[in-house]
Amino acid sequence: MYLEVKNLKKSYGEGGSFAQVLKGISVSVHQGHMCVIQGASGSGKSTLLNCIGGLDLMDSGSIRVDGKEISGLSQEKLSDYRRENLGFIFQFYNLVPNLTVRENVKVCEYLTDSPLDMKELLETLGLSEHQNKFPSQLSGGQQQRCAIARALIKNPKLLLCDEPTGALDSVTSRDILILLEEINRRYGTTMLIVTHNNSIQYMVDQVIILKDGQIKKDFLNEKKVSAAELEDL
């Protein structure tokens, strides 16, 4: 099993502001699978993603990624873990405004000894003709493609996506999901996708539904459809 989470608990605040966000999450994901994490606002979706990504420290429990336990790692070791294993895609693109598309991607290329081929990646994501433009010269969909390229250039084994289509219209959302599907097929990248969009669950291998910090449902999708076939995006 590539990702194993066991009895994960996470809280914020103390005293009157104390809130238990994750209440003993246990889940596992196979290598190369696309997995959706769904739930209402406040259910713990992004907190779970951030704990797996080493951005939030857990209170207790275990997270193993590719056989490595990440709970209890120092900040330096967590930084190594993120650099060596992870790519992040967020709803807000977080591009450097005074760098071109190519330069934004290049920043992360330096983080690994075995990056993907820049030319091939830009072609796959439809960015070749835009590589010398600045973020302000791009559409929302093109900026998200740039953010995806930046996450993928270091060839991560695990891609963490927090509402990757949340700021996009339905047509652009479909294009981005088709790209994620192609990346998964081409590179075998394991993906965790946090989303409010119910339609996305039909294109992935596994669906995890959270409610009030606990897993309400966790099932494999036996009738996957392609991203191009999704309705109501």
Please check whether residue 180 is in contact with residue 147, taking contact to mean a CB–CB distance below 8 angstroms: no
**DSSP strand pairing (60-65 vs 214-220):** unpaired
Report how far residue 93's alpha carbon sits from residue 49's, in angstroms, rounded to the nearest whole number: 17
> Hey, what domains does the chain have and what are their CATH numbers?
3-229 (3.40.50.300)
Alpha helices in 86-207, H assignment, sequence order: 101-109, 118-124, 140-152, 170-187
Q: What is the pLDDT at residue 92? A: 84
Residues pairing with 162 in the sheet = 90, 194
Structure tokens at 51: 């704990």
Helix 140-152, helix 101-109: angle, nearest 10? 20
| pLDDT tens profile 38-82 | 999 999 999 999 999 999 999 999 999 999 999 989 999 999 999
Q: What is the pLDDT at residue 15? A: 83
Report how far residue 46's alpha carbon sits from residue 163's, in angstroms, rounded to the nearest whole number: 9
Query: Which residue is associated with the tokens 């963490």?
Result: 160
Q: What is the pLDDT at residue 90? A: 86
Query: Which residue is associated with the tokens 């209440």?
Result: 23
Coarse DSSP helix, strand, coil percentages of the chain, rounded to the nearest 5 percent:
35, 25, 35
Q: What is the pLDDT at residue 20? A: 95
pTM value?
0.91
Q: What is the pLDDT at residue 169? A: 86
Residues of the chain predicted below pLDDT 50 = none
Please check whether residue 116 is in contact with residue 155, taking contact to mean a CB–CB distance below 8 angstroms: yes
